[in-house]
Amino acid sequence: MKLYATLIATAASLAAFAPATAQEVTFDKPIRFVTPYPPGGSHSLHAGIITTAAEPHFNQSLISVIRAGGGGAVGATEVANSEADGYTLLFGDPTINSLRPQVEELAYGVEDFIPVARINYSPAIFVARADAPFATMDELVAYAEANPGDLIYSSDNLNGWTYTVFELLKARTGADMTGVEYGGGGPAVARLLGGETMAYAGDISVVGEHIESGDLVPLCVTDTVPVEALPDVPTCPDAGYDVVFQFWRGVLAPAGTPDEVVVALSDGFESLMADEGFLRLIGRIGSSIQFADHEEFDALLTQEIAAMADVAALVDANN
C-alpha cells in the first residue's frame, strides 16, 4: 500500500512537472538540415549520419537537404534568407561562415547566422609526396625559398581551408609557392599522387590512407595539439610555423531565431552526440566528435571571425 502511495505521489509530481516541459520548445514539423555542398563530400556524409540518427533526440525528424552551388554560398544564402523559426538549419564550416563572407562579396554576411552547435573540428595535415625534395616543414620552406614559384601544391577551392593554410604559410614565411585549385579533396590528392603537384594540406580522412601506405609524408598539423591517429607528426607551431586553422563542422540557424529555440536545438544535438549508434557511424568514417553547445560555439565563432579578418588582411598584404 505504501508503494502504491509512492507511485501515486510520483505520478502526481510528474504531472505537476509536465506543464513546465510543455512550455519548452517542441518541434511540430520536420527540421530541414541544409548541406551547402554536393553529395559525396565529407560534409554531406556527416549530414547523412546526423540526420539518420537525430529523430529520437528532437522528437522530430531532421531532413537532409543538399543545396550545392557557388562553393557553399547558394545553400548559405538560402538558409540566411529563410524564416528564423528553427526549422531550417545550415550545416556550416569556417569557409562559408567566417572566411568567405569577409573576403568576398556574397549575398549574406557572418552576422546573418546564430551558432547552434559545433559538431567537431579537425586540423589540416601538411603532406608532401614521398619522392618530393623535402620531408619536413623546414625543408619545404627552404626549397620554396631556393626555388621561388617552383613548389607547386594542390588545394581544393579558392578561399577554402586547404587553400587558406597555404596562404597563411606563405604570409608567415614570405616564401613563393604556386597553388592549383582542383575543386575538391579527391582530385587535389589525385594530382598530388600523380606527380602534378608536390604538396597539399588536407583532412585526415583524405590523406590518412596515403600516409599509412607510404605514398605521402606528413609534415605538420595545423592545430595546437597533435592528431590522435598520427602522434609523431608535430603541430605546425612546434615545427616553427604559426599556421593554426581548425576546420569545424557546425550547425547554424538564421539570425533572429528565438533564444529558447536555439537552446532546444543545442540540447538536441548535445543528446545526439552521446548516441551510441551515432558515435559508431562517426567512428567508421574516421571522424570524431568535439561538441560545443550554442554558447561555447558562439564564443569560438566570434573569436574565429576576428582571427579570419586578420588572416584576410595578412594574405591581402602578402599578395
For position 40 contacting another protein by CB under 8 A, the verdict is yes
For position 286 contacting another protein by CB under 8 A, the verdict is yes
Cα–Cα distance, 45 to 91 (Å, whole number): 11
CB nearer another protein, residue 152 or residue 309? 152
The answer to whether the beta carbons of residues 151 and 199 sit under 8 Å apart is: yes
For position 94 contacting another protein by CB under 8 A, the verdict is no
Contacting another protein (CB under 8 A), which of 25, 135, 142, 193?
Answer: 193
CB nearer another protein, residue 107 or residue 289? 107
CB nearer another protein, residue 142 or residue 158? 158
Residues between 112 and 151 with contacts to another protein, criterion CB under 8 A:
149
For position 109 contacting another protein by CB under 8 A, the verdict is no
Cα torsion through 93, 95, 100, 106, rounded to 10:
-50
Residues between 151 and 190 with contacts to another protein, criterion CB under 8 A:
152, 157-159, 178-183, 186-187, 189-190
For position 52 contacting another protein by CB under 8 A, the verdict is yes
Q: Provide, rounded to whole angstroms, the least separation between the CB of residue 78 and another protein.
A: 8
For position 25 contacting another protein by CB under 8 A, the verdict is no
DSSP assignments along 286-300, one per residue: T-----B-HHHHHHH
The answer to whether the beta carbons of residues 64 and 47 sit under 8 Å apart is: yes
Binding mask 200-239 for another protein (x = CB under 8 A): ---------xx-xx-x------------------------
Beta strand pairing call for 62-66 and 88-92: unpaired
Cα–Cα distance, 94 to 41 (Å, whole number): 16
Helix segments in 174-235, DSSP class H: 185-194, 204-212
Q: Provide, rounded to whole angstroms, the least separation between the CB of residue 196 and another protein.
A: 4
Q: Provide, rounded to whole angstroms, the least separation between the CB of residue 154 and another protein.
A: 9
The answer to whether the beta carbons of residues 86 and 27 sit under 8 Å apart is: yes
The answer to whether the beta carbons of residues 112 and 255 sit under 8 Å apart is: yes
For position 191 contacting another protein by CB under 8 A, the verdict is yes
Q: Provide, rounded to whole angstroms, the least separation between the CB of residue 16 and another protein.
A: 38
For position 240 contacting another protein by CB under 8 A, the verdict is no
For position 56 contacting another protein by CB under 8 A, the verdict is no
All three cell numbers of 266, joined, read 543545442
Element (H, E) at 217: strand 216-221
Contacting another protein (CB under 8 A), which of 27, 33, 49, 251?
Answer: 49
The answer to whether the beta carbons of residues 177 and 149 sit under 8 Å apart is: yes
The answer to whether the beta carbons of residues 19 and 48 sit under 8 Å apart is: no
Name the one range near another protein by CB under 8 A: 34-42, 235-243, 251-259, 301-309.
34-42
For position 281 contacting another protein by CB under 8 A, the verdict is yes
Alpha-carbon distances, residue 298 vs 230, 231, 238, 295 (angstroms)? 30, 30, 28, 5
**CA pseudo-torsion sign 282, 287, 288, 291:** negative
Contacting another protein (CB under 8 A), which of 77, 88, 97, 235?
Answer: 77
The answer to whether the beta carbons of residues 36 and 67 sit under 8 Å apart is: yes
Q: Provide, rounded to whole angstroms, the least separation between the CB of residue 193 and another protein.
A: 5
- Crossing angle for the helix pair 276-284 and 42-53, nearest 10 degrees? 160
Q: Footprint of another protein on this chain (CB under 8 A)?
A: 38-41, 44-45, 48-49, 51-52, 64-71, 73-74, 77-78, 104-105, 107, 149, 152, 157-159, 178-183, 186-187, 189-191, 193-197, 209-210, 212-213, 215, 277, 281, 284-286
